[in-house]
């Protein structure tokens, strides 16, 4: 036990316990306790998710009567049927349209402003940064009413000028792309990263006569791939999960996303519990894929952004 | 005009041109709506158009509305319970994951995992767990140890704490990661010096690790209050404010005024009040986090 613990704590240099504590009985008891609690936490975290996937395999009668955790059969055809009946292909496509435009806007617009605030620093940049920071903590949800009215009036005006129905064109979706470009949290992530870039590259390029915009596209962005990844991942999960503004803008249109549908299912009588559960499973698959691919970038982005921001 | 001065002006112009597109977005999505709700709260409206200036009448009629008082009271209850239930969990998680001999990175990834799930999906899953009667998942689990089914969210005193539990389940992991980063930023020599002075592992946690986290704890405390104060999605999805307004929050009142009754001025008036409270918290945040930066 002592040797095992000493080895497990071998190169640990953070927190309280060190390898030399392995001989104390208190450490030995506590470490066993810690492992048990960790196992319990992993169960608490994963259980609801595993439950919903399993429950999706049950039919409605089994869901209401059987108390078993496992379904009677793992027959994928029930999932396939719900997918088709609730038109999930369409909703997935819509969600991805919102997501891709949103990620693009999140990286470009926040990146540009961060570049100006962090590197170019034109006169007055401090006021701009102050304004951005002040509104960072006042959530957009408080002004969602005004936001919605703003968006509506611009979209309807544009649709009138172009002589189209807004709900049938991408005009209905575009506001959800551009809103990703005004995010103070991602802006700060970019700004911190840019400020730590080597200055000589940028100065050399400026002396060579590169315009500021060219410096951004040809020097800053190629050097900033790690932070672009972090912001892109955050923007992608945010775009996928958001539902209030999408619900207000896209409800009853051909663009309704996975989350908009899921929000409607909460009260829709014609959707039964099993379909609802399967829809939940469909809605969590893409984020889980993103998370398993990029879990390192996500967790490190949270830690640095949280500490400094 | 000297060449260098002209160059400076050009640089300033190009800098502002680069900021302009994003500033337009911020103005359109963030700043103008904030000003607009202030204006709207002082008017009467017919649908989307403002009709006449009524001064503070919207505010006055809100104060007379019993729902308004209940919503504020509930919002404070949410904040209270989130401090009781939700505030310590991330700190304990961070300490646990730092000190556990095995499962360190697995637990780290696992506790963060619920964060990436869409909030809506999480709430729907928990609704099935909290279902009253024999069909509820938690009641099933209780039945195996012989406890009678509970009514969970429909029991009046339970609604807010249970909603806070689901919020904690979803978001504790990301806060824990921030605390973990804070712990790993502590100079290891400090811990070793305490060891040489004869401090045991528990003592080291209380006299070295926790004290160095105080600044971070204060910042996270304010951030948590700010985020719980705007709670909307959870009561909207899970209980629709019920039972009998027991879980209606102040943001939900905004939502109801705006999108159920289409009474935009009242919605705006409530929003303005929320913004004032949040601005105070934000000011406090900058004082605390600024002081932390200087330390």
Q: Kindly state whether residues A183 and A120 are assigned to the same domain.
A: yes
* A72 inside domain: no
The DSSP annotation for B276-290 comes to: HHHHHHHHHHHHHHH
Q: Kindly state whether residues A84 and A50 are assigned to the same domain.
A: no
Which residue, among A139, A302, A185, has the nearest Cα to B225 in the 3D structure? A139
Chain A residue closest in CA terms to B264: A145
With a cut of 0.90, is the ipTM above it? no
Please give, rounded to a whole number of angstroms, the shortest distance from the CA of B137 to a CA of chain A: 8
Phi, psi dihedral angles at B146 (to 5 degrees): 80, 20
Q: Kindly state whether residues A127 and A224 are assigned to the same domain.
A: yes
Domain that holds residue A30: 2-55
Q: Kindly state whether residues A98 and A235 are assigned to the same domain.
A: yes
Q: Kindly state whether residues A262 and A196 are assigned to the same domain.
A: yes
Could you read off the pLDDT tens digit of each residue along chain A, which spans 309 residues?
A: 778 888 888 777 788 888 888 888 888 888 899 999 999 999 999 999 999 999 889 888 787 777 778 888 888 888 999 899 888 999 999 999 999 999 999 999 999 999 999 999 999 999 999 888 877 767 667 788 888 888 988 998 998 998 888 788 888 899 999 999 999 889 988 998 999 888 888 888 878 888 888 899 988 999 998 889 989 988 998 999 988 899 988 888 889 999 999 988 877 777 888 888 999 999 999 999 988 998 887 877 777 665 543
Q: Kindly state whether residues A165 and A262 are assigned to the same domain.
A: yes
* A96 inside domain: yes
C-alpha to C-alpha distance for B103 and A45, rounded to whole angstroms: 14
* A69 inside domain: no
Q: Kindly state whether residues A37 and A91 are assigned to the same domain.
A: no
State the pLDDT at residue B133.
77
Model pLDDT for residues A271-300, shown as the tens digit of each residue: 888 888 999 999 999 999 988 998 887 877
Q: Kindly state whether residues A33 and A104 are assigned to the same domain.
A: no
Report all structural domains of chain B as residue ranges with CATH numbers, in order of start: 3-40 (no CATH), 58-119+169-294 (1.10.3720.10)
* A261 inside domain: yes
Please give, rounded to a whole number of angstroms, the shortest distance from the CA of B47 to a CA of chain A: 11
Number of domains in chain A: 2
* A70 inside domain: no
Distance set, CA B194 to CA A19, B1, B35, B204 (Å): 15, 65, 54, 7
Q: Kindly state whether residues A262 and A136 are assigned to the same domain.
A: yes
* A24 inside domain: yes
Chain B residue closest in CA terms to A11: B101
Q: Contacts from A291-296 at CB under 8 Å and sequence distance 24+?
A: A291/B113, A291/B116, A294/A229, A294/A233, A295/B109, A295/B112
Q: Kindly state whether residues A263 and A149 are assigned to the same domain.
A: yes
pTM value > 0.90? no
C-alpha to C-alpha distance for A292 and A289, rounded to whole angstroms: 5
Model pLDDT for residues B36-54, shown as the tens digit of each residue: 889 999 998 887 788 889 9
Q: Kindly state whether residues A157 and A118 are assigned to the same domain.
A: yes
Q: Does A98 touch chain B (CB under 8 A)?
A: no
Q: Is B46 helix (H, G, I), strand (E, B) or coil?
A: strand
Please give, rounded to a whole number of angstroms, the shortest distance from the CA of B132 to a CA of chain A: 12
Q: Is B45 helix (H, G, I), strand (E, B) or coil?
A: strand
Q: What is the CATH number of the domain that holds A273?
A: 1.10.3720.10
Q: Kindly state whether residues A138 and A8 are assigned to the same domain.
A: no
């Amino acid at each position: 036990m002592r040797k095992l613990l000493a080895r497990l704590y071998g190169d640990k240099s953070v927190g309280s316990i060190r390898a030399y504590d392995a001989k104390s009985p208190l450490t030995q008891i506590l470490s066993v306790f810690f492992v048990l609690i960790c196992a319990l936490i992993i169960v608490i975290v994963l259980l609801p998710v595993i439950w919903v996937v399993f429950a999706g395999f049950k039919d409605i009668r089994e869901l209401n009567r059987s108390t078993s955790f496992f379904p009677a059969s793992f027959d994928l055809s029930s999932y396939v049927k719900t997918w088709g009946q609730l038109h999930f292909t369409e909703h997935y496509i819509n969600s991805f349209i919102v997501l891709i435009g949103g990620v693009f806007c999140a990286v470009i617009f926040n990146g540009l402003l961060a570049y100006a605030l962090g590197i170019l620093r034109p006169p007055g940049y401090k006021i701009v940064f102050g304004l951005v920071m002040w509104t960072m903590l006042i959530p957009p949800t408080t002004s969602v009413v005004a936001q919605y009215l703003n968006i509506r009036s611009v979209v309807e005006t544009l649709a009138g000028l172009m002589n189209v129905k807004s709900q049938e064109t991408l005009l209905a979706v575009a506001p959800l792309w551009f809103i990703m470009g005004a995010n103070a949290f991602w802006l700060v992530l970019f700004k911190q990263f840019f400020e730590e870039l080597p200055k000589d590259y940028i100065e050399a390029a400026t002396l060579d006569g590169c315009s500021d915009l060219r410096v951004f596209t040809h020097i800053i962005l190629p050097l900033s791939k790690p932070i672009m990844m972090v912001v892109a991942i955050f923007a992608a999960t945010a775009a996928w999960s958001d539902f209030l503004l999408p619900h207000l803008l896209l409800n009853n249109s051909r663009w309704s996303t996975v989350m908009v549908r899921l929000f409607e299912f909460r009260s829709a009588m014609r959707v039964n519990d099993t379909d609802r559960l399967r829809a939940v499973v469909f809605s969590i698959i893409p984020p889980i894929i993103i998370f398993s691919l990029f879990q390192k970038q996500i967790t490190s982005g949270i830690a640095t952004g949280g500490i400094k921001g | 005009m000297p060449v260098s001065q002209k160059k400076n002006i050009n640089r300033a112009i190009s800098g502002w041109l680069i900021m302009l597109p994003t500033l337009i977005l911020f103005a359109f999505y963030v700043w103008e709506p904030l000003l607009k709700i202030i204006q709207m709260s002082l008017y009467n409206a017919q649908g989307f158009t403002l009709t006449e200036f009524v001064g503070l009448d919207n505010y006055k009629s809100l104060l007379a509305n019993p729902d308004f008082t209940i919503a504020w009271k509930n919002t404070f209850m949410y904040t209270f319970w989130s401090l009781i239930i939700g505030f310590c969990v991330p700190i304990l998680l961070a300490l646990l994951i730092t000190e556990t001999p095995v499962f360190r990175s697995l637990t780290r990834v696992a506790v963060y995992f619920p964060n990436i799930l869409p909030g809506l999906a999480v709430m729907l899953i928990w609704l099935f767990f909290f279902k009253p009667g024999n069909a509820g998942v938690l009641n099933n689990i209780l039945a195996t140890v012989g406890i009678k089914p509970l009514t969970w969210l429909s029991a009046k005193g339970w609604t807010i704490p249970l909603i806070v539990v689901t919020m904690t389940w979803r978001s504790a992991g990301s806060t824990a990661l921030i605390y973990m980063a804070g712990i790993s930023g502590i100079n290891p020599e400090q811990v070793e010096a305490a060891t040489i002075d004869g401090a045991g592992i528990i003592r080291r946690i209380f006299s070295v690790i926790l004290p160095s986290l105080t600044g971070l704890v204060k910042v996270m405390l304010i951030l948590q209050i700010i985020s719980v104060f705007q709670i909307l999605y959870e009561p909207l999805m899970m209980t629709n404010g019920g039972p009998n307004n027991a879980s209606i929050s102040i943001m939900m009142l905004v939502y109801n005024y705006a999108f159920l009754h289409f009474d935009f001025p009242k919605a705006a008036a409530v929003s303005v009040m929320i913004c004032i409270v949040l601005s105070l918290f934000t000011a406090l945040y900058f004082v605390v986090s600024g002081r932390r930066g200087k330390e």
